[in-house]
C-alpha cells in the first residue's frame, strides 16, 4: 500500500502536470519523481527509533502505474468548446419488457437504501409515491443490477390508461410459463391443469421458476394502483391478489418481489421480509441534473428553486414545465398557479396547458395513440393517422413536449412510440 504522504504528493504533482497540458505518460513520470523520497521534507519521524524506515519509503515511486492502449493520448482536449446538452434521441430501453430511461439521474441514496433492504433479507419491497417521481425508474434500475448478478427478472406494468390491462396480465402469466425449460414446463403443466384456484396455479409456477433459477427470481409489478381501491388500497383484482398471496412463504423460498404503486397495500408489512418504502421528493441537486439532461439552460437559480418547491421536485412535471417554456405561455403566471394547486393536480395542469398549444392534427394524433396499450413502431402510428399530413413533424413535436415517449427496440433496431403514462391518464 502507498503511504498517505506519498499518495498526496503524487496526486498534487500529477494534477499540476496535467493542468500544464503535459501528456499523461509524462505527467505520470513527473508525479513518480515527486515521491522518490516522500518523507524527505515532512520533518522526519517523531520516534527517532523509526528514522531508518525513512529510507524504506523510497520505494513508493514505483507503485503508481498507467495502463493505456495509447499512453501518448491527451487526457484533456484543450480545444474543447462547451456545447448545450442534447436531449436523448432514444429516451428509453427495456428490461423484461418494462420501459426504463436510458440514463438514471440521481436517486443514488434511495437506490442504496433499497439495495440494503434486499441484502437484509427483506426480499419483497413496496415502493410508493406520487406519479412522476421516478418509482419505475428506481425499481427498474434495481432489477437491472439483479439481472446482471444472474437473477431471472420478469416485469409487468399496469398503467391506468390501459383498457386492456387484464389481457396484458394474462399475457404476462403466459410469458412466465414460456420462461420454463421444456422438461420443467412439461412437469408443471400437469400441476397447473390439476390446480383448482389461481393461487394454487401461481404457487406451482413460482416454485418452478425458483427451481429453474436456483432461487434467483425477481418479479417486478409496476403501477399497481390500477388494480387498487383508492380509498382502502386493497387489491381489487382477484387473480393479482392471488399471485401476491402465492409469493408469501418462507423467505428463503419466496421470489424477490418489487412493486410500485401510488398507494400502500393493507397489511403489507405483516411478513418480516416485506418492507414498504415511501419515495420522497428527489434532492434539489438531482432536480438540477435532470433539468440539464433534458436541455434546460435556465440561469436564474431563484426561479429554479421556486419551481422545485412548487412541483415538489417531480421529474415528469419538470419535463412538462420545460416544454411549456418553449411555447408562448406566461411562465410566471403558470408557476403561481402551480404553487397554489394541490400536488396531484399539478401534472394535469401542465398537460392541459401544453394540450391547448397543440394544432388540431397534433391533438388528433395524441388522442388516437390511446388505441395502443404498448409502444408501437412507426408503422403502427401510420395505421391510425392515415389522414394526418406531415406525420413525422407532428410526431416529433409531441415528443419534444414530452407528451409522447420514445423507446428503442434492440431486436427490431427501430424506434417505438407510446403515450406518456401520465398523459394517457389525463386524456382518459
**pLDDT tens string 150-159:** 999 999 888 6
- Rounded to a whole number of angstroms, the CA Rg of the chain reads 28
Mean predicted lDDT score pLDDT of the chain: 81
What's the pLDDT tens digit per position in 263-302? 889 888 888 888 888 888 888 888 888 888 777 776 777 8
Average pLDDT of span 402-421 = 79
Nearest 10 degrees: CA dihedral of 318, 320, 323, 328?
-110
With H, G, I as helix, E, B as strand and everything else as coil, classify residue 360: helix
What's the pLDDT tens digit per position in 210-236? 999 998 999 999 888 888 887 888 999
- Cβ-contact 332, 340 below 8 angstroms: no
> Alpha-carbon distance 385 to 393, whole Å?
13
> Alpha-carbon distance 215 to 350, whole Å?
45
Distances (CA, A) of 384 to 213, 294, 345, 402: 42, 29, 30, 20
Crossing angle of helices 165-178 and 198-212, in 10° steps, is 40
Q: What is the pTM of this model?
A: 0.62
What's the pLDDT tens digit per position in 1-35? 788 888 999 999 999 998 988 888 889 999 999 99
What's the pLDDT tens digit per position in 390-400? 888 888 888 87
Q: Is the torsion defined by CA of 348, 354, 358, 361 positive or negative? A: negative
- Cell numbers describing residue 394: 407532428
Phi (first) and psi of residue 248, to 5 degrees: -75, 170
Which range has the worst mean pLDDT, 181-185, 197-201, 345-349? 345-349
- Cβ-contact 124, 80 below 8 angstroms: no
Q: Which pLDDT does position 84 carry in this prediction?
A: 57
- Cβ-contact 109, 317 below 8 angstroms: no
Residue 91 has pLDDT above 80, yes or no: no
- Cβ-contact 407, 91 below 8 angstroms: yes
- Cβ-contact 81, 108 below 8 angstroms: no
Q: Which pLDDT does position 90 carry in this prediction?
A: 47
Average pLDDT of span 258-262 = 90
> Alpha-carbon distance 207 to 247, whole Å?
10
Average pLDDT of span 166-172 = 84
> Alpha-carbon distance 393 to 381, whole Å?
13
Average pLDDT of span 120-130 = 82
Nearest to 317 by CA among 285, 365, 277, 352: 352
Tally of CB atoms within 10 A around 10: 24
Average pLDDT of span 403-427 = 80
First vs last Cα of the chain: how many Å apart? Answer: 63
| pLDDT grade for 238, boundaries at 50, 70 and 90 | very high
> Alpha-carbon distance 238 to 199, whole Å?
9
Q: How far is CA 263 from the centre of its chain?
A: 20
Amino acid at each position: 500500500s502507498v503511504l498517505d504522504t506519498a499518495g498526496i504528493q503524487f496526486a498534487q504533482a500529477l494534477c499540476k502536470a496535467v493542468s500544464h497540458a503535459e501528456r499523461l505518460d509524462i505527467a505520470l513520470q513527473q508525479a513518480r519523481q515527486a515521491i522518490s523520497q516522500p518523507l524527505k521534507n515532512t520533518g522526519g519521524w517523531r520516534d527517532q527509533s523509526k528514522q531508518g524506515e525513512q529510507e524504506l519509503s523510497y520505494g513508493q515511486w514505483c507503485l503508481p502505474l498507467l495502463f493505456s492502449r495509447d499512453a501518448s493520448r491527451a487526457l484533456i482536449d484543450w480545444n474543447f468548446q462547451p456545447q448545450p446538452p442534447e436531449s436523448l434521441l432514444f429516451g428509453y430501453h427495456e428490461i423484461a419488457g418494462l420501459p426504463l430511461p436510458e440514463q438514471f439521474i440521481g436517486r443514488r441514496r434511495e437506490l442504496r437504501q433499497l439495495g440494503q433492504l434486499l441484502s437484509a433479507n427483506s426480499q419483497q419491497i413496496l415502493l410508493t409515491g406520487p406519479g412522476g417521481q421516478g418509482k419505475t425508474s428506481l425499481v427498474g434500475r434495481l432489477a437491472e443490477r439483479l439481472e446482471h448478478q444472474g437473477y431471472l427478472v420478469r416485469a409487468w406494468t399496469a398503467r391506468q390508461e390501459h383498457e386492456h390491462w387484464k389481457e396484458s396480465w394474462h399475457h404476462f402469466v403466459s410469458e412466465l410459463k414460456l420462461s420454463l425449460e421444456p422438461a420443467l414446463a412439461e412437469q408443471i403443466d400437469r400441476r397447473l391443469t390439476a390446480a383448482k384456484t389461481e393461487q394454487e396455479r401461481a404457487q406451482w409456477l413460482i416454485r418452478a421458476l425458483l427451481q429453474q433459477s436456483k432461487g434467483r427470481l425477481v418479479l417486478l409489478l409496476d403501477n399497481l394502483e390500477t388494480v387498487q381501491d383508492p380509498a382502502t388500497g386493497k387489491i381489487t383484482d382477484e387473480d393479482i391478489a392471488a399471485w401476491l398471496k402465492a409469493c408469501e412463504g418462507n423467505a428463503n423460498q419466496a421470489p424477490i418481489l418489487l412493486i410500485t404503486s401510488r398507494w400502500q397495500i393493507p397489511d403489507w408489512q405483516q411478513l418480516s421480509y416485506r418492507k414498504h418504502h415511501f419515495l420522497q421528493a428527489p434532492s434539489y441537486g438531482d432536480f438540477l441534473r435532470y433539468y440539464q439532461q433534458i436541455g434546460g439552460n435556465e440561469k436564474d437559480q431563484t426561479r429554479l428553486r421556486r419551481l422545485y418547491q412548487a412541483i415538489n421536485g417531480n421529474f415528469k412535471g419538470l419535463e412538462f414545465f420545460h416544454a411549456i417554456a418553449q411555447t408562448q405561455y406566461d411562465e410566471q403566471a403558470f408557476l403561481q398557479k402551480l404553487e397554489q394547486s394541490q400536488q396531484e393536480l399539478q401534472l394535469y395542469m401542465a398537460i392541459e396547458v401544453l394540450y391547448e398549444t397543440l394544432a388540431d392534427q397534433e391533438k388528433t394524433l395524441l388522442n388516437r395513440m390511446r388505441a395502443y396499450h404498448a409502444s408501437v413502431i412507426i408503422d403502427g402510428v401510420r395505421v391510425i393517422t392515415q389522414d394526418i399530413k406531415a406525420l413525422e413533424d407532428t410526431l416529433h413535436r409531441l415528443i419534444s413536449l414530452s407528451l409522447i415517449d420514445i423507446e428503442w427496440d434492440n431486436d427490431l433496431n427501430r424506434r417505438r412510440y407510446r403515450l406518456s403514462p401520465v398523459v394517457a391518464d389525463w386524456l382518459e
